[in-house]
């Protein structure tokens, strides 16, 4: 057992399914205390909580719609109350609207930035203030995307919000390093989750030539990387974006040359 995490209090936003649920389950192996956030998928977060408990950790559930930025202070206060503090903040919750720029109205743009950028910004500030007040160190981990660095049709709001999150992380890491608070980012490529599993399997012939390792990523792999980056083994790592994409961005978008 990794003793770094015993009794550590960890807030994972967007943990009702997909990457967030996998991250929570990866931490659950280490006798942790998890706060599981969800917005709409109550059944999903109940399933995550059940598995977290089965793996030997404690779990509490907290609902919030991250489009409502003014709720951030109360949300964070409620999360802290569950276990009298938070040691690790995982900013995972996000939305992926797919619309061309001309079809992206201001409400969709603002909602995307509220969830993907503004709420993580606010939670991170609240987290650091709480850590400083208690005189304790901490770690923040953001879940971004390779689309924060590479372009794709219909991803204008999503890509812009993730690019901003990546840039914000670097400034946070520099400014908060003097308080021994580390900030890093995981930037996943094509990950097979429940909502896209059927479609990705249908499009396998389209995707595989683009992924040098020849398969989709798994949420479990993201979860295990998250655990490492928040552990004592990564104590000298801050301000970094870790791309996990099977080599997709390393290869680029050139045609295959026989």
Tell me which residues are annotated as active site. 158
- How is residue 254 annotated by DSSP? P
Q: How many residues does the chain have?
A: 258
Q: What six digits make up the tokens of 173? A: 């890491």
Number of Cβ within 10 Å of residue 103's Cβ equals 11
246: exposed, middle or buried (Cβ count in 10 Å: 0-12, 13-18, 19+): buried
- How is residue 155 annotated by DSSP? B
- How is residue 246 annotated by DSSP? T
- In a 3-state reduction of DSSP, which class is residue 41? coil
Give kind and range of the element (H or E) at residue 185. strand 181-188
Cβ contacts of 178 within 8 Å, gap of 6 or more: none
Are 42 and 119 within 8 A, CB to CB? no
Euclidean distance between CA atoms 226 and 21, whole angstroms: 12
76: exposed, middle or buried (Cβ count in 10 Å: 0-12, 13-18, 19+): buried
């Amino acid at each position: 057992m990794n003793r770094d995490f015993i009794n550590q209090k960890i807030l994972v936003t967007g943990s009702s399914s997909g990457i967030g649920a996998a991250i929570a389950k990866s931490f659950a192996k280490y006798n942790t205390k998890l706060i599981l956030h969800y917005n709409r998928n109550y059944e999903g977060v109940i399933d995550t909580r059940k598995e977290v408990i089965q793996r030997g950790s404690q779990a509490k559930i907290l609902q919030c719609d991250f489009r409502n930025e003014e709720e951030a202070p109360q949300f964070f206060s409620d999360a802290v109350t569950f276990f009298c503090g938070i040691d690790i903040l995982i900013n995972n919750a996000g939305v992926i609207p797919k619309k061309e720029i001309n079809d992206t109205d201001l409400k969709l743009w603002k909602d995307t930035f509220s969830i993907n950028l503004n709420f993580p910004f606010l939670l991170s500030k609240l987290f650091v203030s709480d850590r400083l007040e208690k005189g304790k160190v901490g770690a923040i981990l953001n879940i971004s995307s390779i689309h924060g660095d590479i372009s794709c049709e219909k991803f204008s709001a999503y890509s812009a919000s993730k690019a901003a999150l990546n840039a914000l992380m670097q400034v946070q890491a520099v400014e908060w390093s003097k308080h021994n608070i580390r900030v890093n980012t995981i930037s996943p490529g094509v990950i097979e989750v429940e909502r896209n599993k059927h479609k990705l399997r249908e499009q396998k012939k389209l995707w595989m030539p683009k992924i040098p390792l020849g398969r989709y990523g798994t949420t479990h792999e993201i979860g295990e990387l998250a655990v490492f980056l928040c552990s004592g083994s990564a104590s000298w790592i801050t301000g970094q974006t870790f791309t996990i994409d099977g080599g997709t961005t390393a290869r680029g978008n050139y045609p295959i040359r026989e």
